[in-house]
Amino acid sequence: MSTSVFVFVATAVVLPLLLSEFGDWCPWLAKRLTRWTARRLGDVEATARYSEEWLAELAHLPGKLSHLLTATSYLLALPRIRWSLRAARRATRTEPSLDELLPTQAPIYWDSRGVIMNWGHQLEAAYHLLRVIVNEDPQVRNRLHLLVGPPGTGKTTLAHWLQHEFVRDGKNIHYVWAPAWIHRTRPLRVSAQMRDRLIQASQDVNLLVVDEADQATVDTLQALQLPCPVLVLATTGGQLGEIVPSPATAGVVVDLGRILDSWQRATPGAL
């Protein structure tokens, strides 16, 4: 008999009191759980937005226990919402430009008003280079072209002339000083992510000029295989040594030293 009385008191008196007391705490617990869930979204803007929406939804719910059940549903949906937010950020993220990835500006001594090439061998070299650089054939366009020669043969002047002509025709040309790119404090590592970013950023580039390159620079460019034409300026016979391009990726190789020698023999006394 005592057991029956105890069960009756527990079910008829104690349990309703506990449920009533717990019900009074449910809205408070629901708000705390909702705010905690919103803070786990990992984004300040999303946290503020979802917290406001969820709390407004809780305020319009009838009853007390429904608040806690709804807040629990927010918690269970947290992994899915976080994945959706990350996917949306990836879809709207702006890829860095080539100026941001390779932030080397053209030399200040390159006068935007243009340059005059006084040597005939430079014009001959410019003809060879332009013929392959402006070629839109996909098998030719993304080749690595080299302009090499001893100091004083006019490599920089020729590159300056190409830059002026491309800009005048509305084309996009990007200049990179190789020592600042390859040998800076944190050297460029051709990781898969970096390669994808550089390829994406160079899609609309008509010519990438890499000045004062060495063999490490050429090796890096070969590994990148950018979709735009690349013109490498390198000094031969000096401290940088000989540049040995890979036959698989090299386009035209213009040696200003040899062209200058041939031109001087053909036109004695021209210089």
Q: How does residue 83 score in pLDDT terms, banded at 50, 70 and 90?
A: confident
Tokens representing residue 209 in the block: 């000029």
Could you tell me which residue, 220 or 57, shows the higher pLDDT? 57
What global pTM score does this model have? 0.55
What is the arrangement of strands in the sheet containing 173-177, beginning at the earlier edge strand? 173-177, 207-211, 230-235, 144-149, 250-255
pLDDT at 186: 47
Q: How does residue 257 score in pLDDT terms, banded at 50, 70 and 90?
A: low
Q: Would you give the end-to-end CA distance of the chain in angstroms?
A: 126
State the average pLDDT over residues 224-241: 70
pLDDT at 271 over 50: no
Q: Which residue, 113, 39, 124, is CA-closest to 82? A: 39
Q: What mean pLDDT, rounded, does the chain reach? A: 70
- At 182-196, the pLDDT tens digits run 554 444 556 677 777
**b/e for 149-158, b at 16 or more Cβ within 10 A?**
beeebbbbbb
pLDDT at 251 over 50: yes
Q: Is 210 helix (H, G, I), strand (E, B) or coil?
A: strand
Quote the CA–CA distance of 42 and 234 in Å, as a whole number: 48
Q: Is 99 helix (H, G, I), strand (E, B) or coil?
A: helix
State the average pLDDT over residues 145-168: 76
Least confident of 22-26, 37-41, 140-144, 169-173: 22-26
Q: Which residues pair with 145 in a beta bridge?
A: 231
Quote the CA–CA distance of 219 and 188 in Å, as a whole number: 12
pLDDT at 104: 65
pLDDT at 178: 74
Query: What angle (nearest 5°) sits at the alpha carbon of residue 211, between those of residues 271 and 190?
Result: 155
Quote the CA–CA distance of 44 and 38 in Å, as a whole number: 9
Q: Which residues pair with 234 in a beta bridge?
A: 148
pLDDT at 107: 59
Q: Report which residue type is found at 217.
A: T
Quote the CA–CA distance of 28 and 72 in Å, as a whole number: 13
Tokens representing residue 24 in the block: 């009074």
> In sequence order, which residues have a C-beta less than 8 Å from that of residue 34 and are 6 or more positions away?
51, 54, 55, 58, 71, 74
